C-alpha cells in the first residue's frame, strides 16, 4: 500500500539537507520525490545492500524493515502506518511500535515533523545501534518447528 506521508516527509528532509544522499523506495505511492533519488521497488538483495550501506534507515514500522535493520546493525527511524489514513488495513504498526520499537537502536516518530527532526538528530548522533543478531531465529524455536516437521 502507498505511504506518501513518509515519502513526502523524507523528500522535504532531503530538500533541507542537500549534502546528504537520500534514496527512497516509494512502492505504489502517488507522490514522486523531487529532491531525493527514488525507485519504485528494489530487488530484495539490493534492498538489503542499501540497508547495510546506509548511515540511517528510515522506514515504515514493519517487521521486514525492523529485522533488516537489526540484522545489518543499523539504526532505524520509523513512522507507523495508520489505518485511518489509508496506509494499512489495520493499526498493527502502532502495536509494533509499542512492543518492538522499544529495542535499542529502534526509533519511532510520532508524525512527519517529528520524523524530520529525529532524522537530523540521529544523523548527528546515532546513539546505540541495534546489536547485530544471527541470521536465524533462536535455535530453541527452530528445533521445535523441526520436531513438528519430523513428528
Partner 1 sequence: MGKRVLAIASGGGHFIQLMRLSPAWDGHAVSIATVDPTSRALVGDAPFFTFRDVSRADWWRIPAATLDIAAILMKVRPQVIITTGALPGLIAATLARPFGCKSLWVDSIANSEVLSGSGGQAGRVCSQVVTQWPHLAADKVEHWGSVL
Residues that bind partner 1 (CB under 8 A): 1, 43-46, 62-68, 70, 89, 92-93, 95-96, 98-100, 133, 135-146, 148-150
Quick one: 7 or 96, whose CB is closer to partner 1?
Answer: 96
Comparing CA positions, the residue from 27, 89, 95, 45 lying closest to residue 78 is 95
Least distance (Å) between residue 57 CB and partner 1? 14
Least distance (Å) between residue 150 CB and partner 1? 7
Least distance (Å) between residue 148 CB and partner 1? 5
Quick one: 18 or 45, whose CB is closer to partner 1?
Answer: 45
Neighbours of 133 (CB within 10 A): 12
Phi-psi region of 27 (alpha: psi -120 to 50; beta: other; left: phi over 0): left
Comparing CA positions, the residue from 136, 137, 132, 110 lying closest to residue 51 is 132
Cell readout for 87 is 496506509
Quick one: 7 or 65, whose CB is closer to partner 1?
Answer: 65
Quick one: 35 or 92, whose CB is closer to partner 1?
Answer: 92
Q: Which residues lie across from 57 on neighbouring strands?
A: 76
Least distance (Å) between residue 35 CB and partner 1? 26
Helix (H, G, I), strand (E, B) or coil at 72: helix
Amino acid at each position: 500500500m502507498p505511504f506518501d506521508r513518509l515519502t513526502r516527509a523524507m523528500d522535504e528532509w532531503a530538500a533541507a539537507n542537500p549534502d546528504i544522499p537520500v534514496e527512497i523506495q516509494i512502492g505504489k505511492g502517488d507522490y514522486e520525490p523531487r529532491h531525493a533519488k527514488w525507485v519504485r521497488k528494489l530487488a530484495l538483495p539490493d534492498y538489503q545492500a542499501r540497508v547495510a550501506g546506509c548511515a540511517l534507515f528510515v522506514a515504515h514500522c514493519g517487521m521486514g524493515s525492523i529485522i533488516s535493520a537489526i540484522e545489518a546493525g543499523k539504526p532505524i527511524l520509523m513512522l507507523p502506518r495508520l489505518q485511518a489514513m489509508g496506509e494499512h488495513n489495520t493499526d498493527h504498526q502502532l502495536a509494533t511500535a509499542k512492543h518492538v520499537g522499544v529495542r535499542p537502536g529502534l526509533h519511532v516518530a510520532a508524525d512527519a515533523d517529528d520524523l524530520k527532526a529525529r532524522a537530523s538528530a540521529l544523523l548527528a548522533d546515532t546513539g546505540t545501534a541495534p546489536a547485530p543478531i544471527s541470521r536465524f531465529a533462536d535455535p530453541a524455536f527452530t528445533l521445535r518447528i523441526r520436531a513438528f516437521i519430523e513428528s
